[in-house]
Structure 1
Amino acid sequence: MTLKALHHLSLRTLALAALSLVTLCVVALALLAWSVIERGQNDLALLERVNVQQASSLNRVHISGLEGLHRLDRALERQLRPSLGDPIEALEAVESDLEEMNSGLARFLAASADYAGRDALEASARALIATMEQQLAAVRAGDRGGYRELTAQALTLSQAFSEQARAFYALADQQGSTLLSRAERQAATLGQALIAGVLATLGILLMIAVIGQRYFLRPIKTLVGHLRTLARGDLSRKVESPGRNEIGQLYAELDTMRRAFIDTVTQLHTQSRSMFESAQRLALGSEELTVQSREQQAFHAATTTTLDELTTHTASTAGFAAEAANLTASARARTAEGSEVMSDFLATMERIQARAREVDGIVEAIDAIAFQTNILALNASVEAARAGTEGKGFAVVAEEVRTLATRSADAAGEIRALLAESGRQIEQGYARSRQASDTMHDIADAGEQANRLMAHIASAAQEQHRHIERLNATLAEQTQTHRASADRVEQSARDALALEQIAEALREAADAFQIDDAPPAGFHWRPDQALVQSARGNIHRPEALLE
């Protein structure tokens, strides 16, 4: 691979190669360290087994043997002198020491399978344990002579066991020193290997840094320069790709983005011009709508004033109609009362006629009685004349009676004449009363009809008043709606003017970019001729100039 080919080497390949080399170095160092650590752990385990397990177990057997021999002597002395203590307690302690010797010997034998003097040491320890058990039996049996012989034998065995134990201790110290020396040599080897690995890794990293600086960081720095040029608005510099790797692809995509920026800026010029013209037309149309909205508001205000006056007049008419209806109802009630009075009067007149006819009958009866009385008086006068002198007084009475009868007849005739005249007058009064009653009924019917008509008029006036009030409220709502619409139209006009400003700002932003082929000349908005802060009071708006 030549150095020129590195321009086409992908970042992924280079990163994988560098990572692989570093990984190999790290893995090699890790394997070496693991091997050294593994050996060190084995040596430490061996050292622990020799120094801790074997030596401690053997040391425990040795110490328990010495303590057991001493306790056997004390147990024998306590048998001879009970005042020194309980011999059974001492014997139990000896049994415990024997058990400790057996268990310690078992642990030592289990941990020292590779020790050369293991069998001899085991035989010596078991012989000592057997002799001490015999001593324990002799003390319990009270055999002092046998105990002394066994004690001499036990001391000889204990000394032999001690020599073998010291030999084992010396061998264990020698093995520990050997293991420590080997661990030091391995640590030195590991240190040298680590230094070599670190140096190799640093060399690889240095090589990667040089390659990255020359073939990656330098192109990236150049790419940053291209980006800064684009940020300043210079789109005229073409971006050349240095290779086919990721950085080369980034260069190619950056040049594609530069060309896309050129297209966008060109479209921005065109679209900003179209936006300005559309915003200008929208502003002019909004101003016309504002004028129409103001005229519509004036018309609605006049209509509202007229409706308010009409509402007031309608309310007055409704009040007058209601008052007239109340007066008509009162008149109808009075007419009804008059009709009832006339009806009572007619009934009274009829009763008077009936009483007059009854009086006429009574007068006729009086006249008949007077006629009969007159006849009787004549008959009495005739009879008195026949009687002569004796009937003279009776004749006077008869004459008086006839005179009274005549006067009664005359009075009855006068009464009849008066009754006849009264009857005629009563008939005339009854007829006129009947006529007045009929007239009152007609008046009552007419009043009832007038009352119904006035009630209908009052109801219609009230309904008309309500409809006019609703119409007035609707017109007020429409006025508010038109006012809000006018405000929105004015806001639209202001927004259109703002769009004009935005369009000019877009054009200026597009002019900030420098491209190979300049777009057609943009337009400039003259605020002193085209800017309108508010559409109100600005009906004739001058058009903005396009340059």
Structure 2
Amino acid sequence: MDNIFDKYTITQQQLRSYMLILRQLKLGVRLACGFGLLILLMAVMLATSLIQMNRLNANAVDLGANWLPSIEVLGEIKSAANDLRRVSMRSVIEVDPQAKAEQARRHEKILRDQLPAILARYEPMIASPEEKAMFDGMRQKLQQLAQADGELLALSAAGDSKLLEARQMVFGPASQAFFALMKDIDSLVELNVRGGDSAIQASASTFKTATFATLAIFGLAVVIGLVMAIATTRSITVPLTEAVEIADSVAAGNLTHEIHPEGGDEPAALLKSLRAMTDSLSSVVSQVRGSSDSIATGSAEIAAGNSDLSHRTEQQASNLEETAASMEQLSGAVKANADHAMQANQLARQAAAAVEDGGKVIAQVVSTMQDIATSSKRISDIIGVIDGIAFQTNILALNAAVEAARAGEQGRGFAVVASEVRSLAGRSAEAAREIKSLITASVERVDNGTQLVDNAGHSMDNIVNQVQKVSTLIADISNLSAEQSSGIGQVGEAVTHLDQMTQQNAALVEESAAAAQSLKIQSEQLAEVVRHFKLEADSTSLRRAGAIPLALTN
């Protein structure tokens, strides 16, 4: 519950915001809105009351024109059904044929005239499909009762021969049809009683709703009226009270009162005018104080200027002598630094050129070593081919020796030749293997040399980069030396300016005279500002006429 109340609690800031919004309107508009809102709430209350009264009337009309008449008509139907039951039973009891005939005519009259008229009166008052179905069922039960009573009257008219059968009909089908009809009539009566109760409950609920709505709207109107009255009163009295306090404060000579007009109504306009008046007075007083301070400051500056004039001239003369000596020393040092920097720059350029030439030579060596490595690999491949040829020659010589052995004496000479060829092929293969191993070792050494030359090339590149950086640094030193030389020129100009300042010191006497003239002008301005205020003697006549003692004139 606390959270709910906290939710609808208006904070001081929100109340201030609402008051500020309200004060944006003129007083006439505010009052018109307040009274208009109250009239609107009264109209809403009247409309709500009329709507609820209309609902009460509708419920009363429904109760009086539908539910109660329906119950009354059902009572008439029930009475007519009882009449039918009595007529049929008396017809069985009667002995005289004329009496039986009279009962039959009464029975026919009830069925033909009385019941149709009663049913016709009830049918327009049916209010729901459920009631319609129950009414149709009751009518069907009524027809069944009429049919059973008709059979009963026919048996009764037949005489004593059918008396027993007629009595059985009375307590059998006729009785069942009668009680079934009574049950349907009672159900319809109960339905209408429930409808009447619902109408009564709806009327009670409507009355409660109307009462609550009327009281709620009335309470809301009272609350809004009180809020509007309090808000309107405070929006008028609070700024007027503040305006009175401000006026009293200004009359007492206190101009430090802060005024914050809020809104766009007439009291806010009054506060704005008071603020403008207070600001104007504050500005005038500030000008008076400022002029007084300026007079004091001007006088002090004149004295200080005349006192510092001689002292400053002596210091400037001493500073000029020291500066001249320092300039000569600095000029010589800067020239020497510039010459050394130029020489170092030339040497660095020569070293960079030499290193670049060395880098190019190493690059050529690297290229030559790579060519040697490529040629060595080709020689190794050729030696491999020679080794293969020697192997094939050895195989052919072996085959030739085999063939010579098969030839016997005739192939002996050929076998000797084949043996020599095999010996030569073996020696060739051995020589090829030795050459190949030497070439392989040479290739490895060439690769190592190439790697070393590559490393040397990278080292030369690094050396070139470092030499270029050194050359750049020396160039920067040379530029800085040039800038120092330019700075020396500027220092010379500064010395010239010092000389000019020495001459300007002589003009301080003229400035002192000008300051005295300015002091005179400021005194005149102070007198002019003071004349903005009227004295007590000047405002005596205005006080008699009810004017403000202290007035601001434009």
Q: TM-score, normalised by structure 1?
A: 0.36
Which protein shows a greater Rg?
1
Q: TM-score, normalised by structure 2?
A: 0.35
